[in-house]
Amino acid sequence: MDTSEQLRILGQIGDIPSLAEKIRETNMFPLCAKGIDILQINMGRCCNLSCRHCHVDAGPQRKEIMSRQVLEKCLEILSSFPISTIDITGGSPEMNPNLEWFIGEAAKLNRRLIIRTNLTLLLEEPYRHFMDVFAQNKVEIVTSLPDYLETKSDRQRGMGVFDKVIKALRELNLHGYGMKNSGLYIDIVHNPVGAYLPGLQAALENEYHKRLLIEQGVHFNQLFCITNLPVGRYLDYLIESGNFEDYLSALCHSFNPAAVRNVMCLIMLSVGWNGLLYDCDFNQMLDLTVNYDTPTSIMDFDMDKLKNREIVINNHCYGCVAGSGSSCQGATTTGD
Amino acid sequence: MSYYEPKDLADFPNITEWAQKEGNKFFEYYGAATGAGKLTEREKSLIALTVAITQNCPYCIDAYTTKCLSLGISSEEMMEAAHTGAAIMAGVTLAHSTQMRKIIKKKEM
Q: Summarize pLDDT for A62-112 with one digit per residue, the tens.
A: 999 999 999 999 999 999 999 999 999 999 999 999 999 999 999 999 999
Contacts (Cβ under 8 Å, ≥6 apart) of A161: A49, A118, A120, A153, A154
Name the superfamily (CATH) of residues A3-320. Aldolase class I (3.20.20.70)
Every domain of chain A and the residues it spans: 3-320
Task: Please spell the DSSP secondary structure of A49-103, one letter per residue.
Answer: ---TT-SS--BTT---B--HHHHHHHHHHHHHS---EEEEESS-GGGSTTHHHHH
Q: Which of B40, B42, B69 sits opposite A194 (nearest CB)?
A: B69
Q: How many CB pairs under 8 A join A and B?
A: 35
List strand residue ranges (DSSP E) for chain A, in order: 38-42, 85-89, 112-116, 140-144, 186-190, 223-225, 268-271, 277-278
- Put simply, the answer to whether A204 touches B42 (Cβ < 8 Å) is no
| Average pLDDT taken over every residue of chain B | 94
Using one digit for the tens of pLDDT, what is the confidence trace for A303-312? Answer: 999 999 999 9
Q: Please give the CATH number for the structural domain made up of B9-107.
A: 1.20.1290.10
Q: Contact B67/A148, CB-based, under 8 Å?
A: no
Mean pLDDT computed over every residue of chain A: 96
Question: Per residue in A233-280, pLDDT tens?
Answer: 999 999 999 999 999 999 999 999 999 999 999 999 999 999 999 999
Boundaries of every domain in chain B: 9-107
Tell me the per-residue pLDDT of A158-216, one tens digit each, with 9 for 90 and over. 999 999 999 999 999 999 999 999 999 999 999 999 999 999 999 999 999 999 999 99
Q: What are phi and psi of A44, to 5 degrees?
A: 150, 165
Q: What is the pLDDT of residue A293?
A: 84
Q: Record the pTM.
A: 0.91
Provide the shortest C-alpha distance from residue A317 to chain B (in Å). Answer: 20
Interface test with A, best of B40, B49, B70 (most A CBs within 10 A): B70
